[in-house]
Structure 1
């Protein structure tokens, strides 16, 4: 086992970006301000009432690149978006509605035919959506949702900060992957579940999906909500779907070449383990690499490159601390104080403090030539309005993050950025995780 390393040594070994926002934090890590990587700070703004999105396009600059943001409004807590051939956009709303934007205009009527979606759990609801690569042939779309456990227990405890408080009843739910046929009309057909996680929770996290280059479905299943004390170890339990990245055939069956398919005691769907809460998945269209964003607890948000059979460490190694403020024990279960261990993967990038990272893409389009190859990551920012933004990470020619390469965009809008996609037109599209939510289209200004 590689024991705890000094922060300087870790930085050299891991080549990660730690976004550090205060000199006292630098000192506690044993790094002087002169030695620390000179990274842009996460901007902070006064905790004022949030300003709604404007009705007209807003123009911004990122270096020499000018761009405008166009808001398509009228959505309620939009979670994810996916493009149909021809450019129409499917959008999931977490309260349990599937919407469609046709020729840039939101249809006022939701698409009918969804199964029962539970919203009586923390972060539960309708989540991701994806379009089959051969949609033109089969008309298949896929979505993830919180499936209520029949007769499952209900919990009337919720959290306010770090205090247990009585609240409304919460369903026990499981993360489910479903498939349906959609011909572009007003309803779904042939809806059926392809996979239902065996991990019960009073809240569903993760549940991102993406198609790999070989046509397999990559799916994240997050950890139970934090008030289920002692559940952090589930991410290391091979007999549990929680805290894992899964790999499935497009009909929900298990591929015979999955890394643990023949190993006793392992769920055969598991592709990688040791994942806390993966809120972003992206498959690079050229390399086929699987990129993932992961929420830590207090600190320790990550970007990882997911590889078959690998262990990404949670909760055995982490750059975060428990919600209780202690490194070990408390609300998340038992957390190790180790940052690295042999046999466990290091993150590509990590953040301290956490901006609550979400959707991720690597830009490959032509509309923003200076952004080609940049990583874009959404951030919901918790209660820090200034950290609700889009991160743009510039890579060096060797594929590592540049020392001054983590830049932020759209802080002025104060919106929780949930999903990030590149459209077929080469523009960027974002969802804002707000009650008065929207799709944001980012397009260049000449």
Structure 2
């Protein structure tokens, strides 16, 4: 985000949010990304405390490595499992039978069945869109991000399933893909950039190559074609689907509920998770600029690394906010419900390495002022965060014994007669 947009420079925002996170995080405990995740969740609901608010966490178990969820108009939840299964929770109960129709996927580390979204006017068209990693025939562990759709029969099958878009991002290293429908019905799709891998497959530098889908946000029609008003449409040497470039690995992609802007967060390398506001034709810097380092300790570019004084380069955007060290962000939601008044207007993000849900409170100018770490004692990697149609938050845990978590506020207890008497003048 440009500093001139709100009159603050990024370093001042970073310094403020890091300082306030130190205070807010102590509402439960100090985050420790090294804490091992818990293999199983307790059967009974767990009670936690946020600043000024108690809440309970209710788990629906039986999932395995769930990645994403989408709500149907009736409140049922479609859930993807990275191994290639599409599940459904009906009335708070997980259906034991997966939904048929998902094509073969490459399930390798972060790859597999990825995001899921229902097309607008779902009650009329019954179309479900999903991203997955499509295996490359004849090449072990190589796959690319693809967008497919099918028609949900309301029971246990997707019919007429077909790919509508297949990217050129063939890789053999961890990568991710998210989707979201824009207010105009177009689809934004992210294509992650892997760490350096085998020769002949995608590399981090490809995120700066406008002739490649690697490390990009794409804008597509619902049939997978490129809209003619995309920023690079018709330009020689540019893929017409590209909306923005210089992206690493997006694991949260949402539309701002008030402004309609596209927001994303992406995992940095060793440090440097980011939230960005994505605008048409902009370059978000990876791997030239970054607040993290490569996993071998090297700088990813001349303007990278947590100790570098300048994380800028001509023609490249600065992030809205960062996390150093990284907590491996995954899942993102703007909270708009009145169910928890104190949380309204906050951003919620999950963390896989940090095993937490984090609330980011924004001020009237839309700037981050407080970060609050939640659910640390649960010790679960969080892969998804969504606000449900009932106004509650729902999470997925990235575990072999995974679960759908529902967060329910606990009303404040009225004061006792003795407490009321003491409060009288």
TM superposition score normalised by structure 2: 0.88
Identify if the C-alpha distance between structure 1 residues 235 and 139 changes in structure 2 by more than 3 Å, giving closer, same or farther: same
Question: How far has the Cα of 1:325 moved from its partner?
Answer: 1.1
Tell me the alpha carbon deviations over residues 82-131 of structure 1, each in whole angstroms, 9 at most, x when there is no partner: 00011000000101100000111000000111111122x33221111001
- Which has the higher mean CA deviation after the structures are superposed, 205-214 or 319-328? 319-328
Match of 2:160 in 1: 190
Match of 1:390 in 2: 357
Instruction: State which of 200, 207, 222 in structure 2 corresponds to 1:235.
Output: 207
CA distance in 2, matches of 1:60, 1:311: 40
Match of 1:350 in 2: 322
Partner SS state of residue 39, structure 1:
helix
Partner SS state of residue 19, structure 2:
coil
Unpaired runs of at least 5, structure 1: 1-10, 21-35, 155-170, 382-386
Question: How far has the Cα of 1:14 moved from its partner?
Answer: 4.9
CA contact (8 A) 1:146 1:204 kept: no
Instruction: State which of 367, 371, 377 in structure 2 corresponds to 1:400.
Output: 367
Match of 1:431 in 2: 396
TM superposition score normalised by structure 1: 0.84
CA distance in 2, matches of 1:133, 1:77: 27
Match of 2:275 in 1: 303
CA distance in 2, matches of 1:271, 1:208: 14
Identify if the C-alpha distance between structure 1 residues 186 and 150 changes in structure 2 by more than 3 Å, giving closer, same or farther: same
Instruction: State which of 194, 206, 219 in structure 2 corresponds to 1:247.
Output: 219
Trace 1:98-177 onto structure 2 (pairs within 5 A).
98-119=86-107, 121-151=108-138, 153-154=139-140, 171-177=141-147
CA distance in 2, matches of 1:435, 1:117: 18
CA distance in 2, matches of 1:328, 1:245: 20
Tell me the alpha carbon deviations over residues 226-272 of structure 1, each in whole angstroms, 9 at most, x when there is no partner: 44489211110001101000000111111111110121111111000
CA distance in 2, matches of 1:46, 1:294: 20
CA distance in 2, matches of 1:19, 1:390: 20
Trace 1:205-284 onto structure 2 (pairs within 5 A).
205-228=175-198, 231-284=203-256
Identify if the C-alpha distance between structure 1 residues 90 and 328 changes in structure 2 by more than 3 Å, giving closer, same or farther: closer
CA distance in 2, matches of 1:19, 1:185: 50
CA contact (8 A) 2:144 2:167 kept: yes
Tell me the alpha carbon deviations over residues 149-172 of structure 1, each in whole angstroms, 9 at most, x when there is no partner: 122x33xxxxxxxxxxxxxxxx21
CA contact (8 A) 1:124 1:146 kept: yes
Question: How far has the Cα of 1:50 moved from its partner?
Answer: 2.5
Match of 2:423 in 1: none
Identify if the C-alpha distance between structure 1 residues 145 and 49 changes in structure 2 by more than 3 Å, giving closer, same or farther: closer
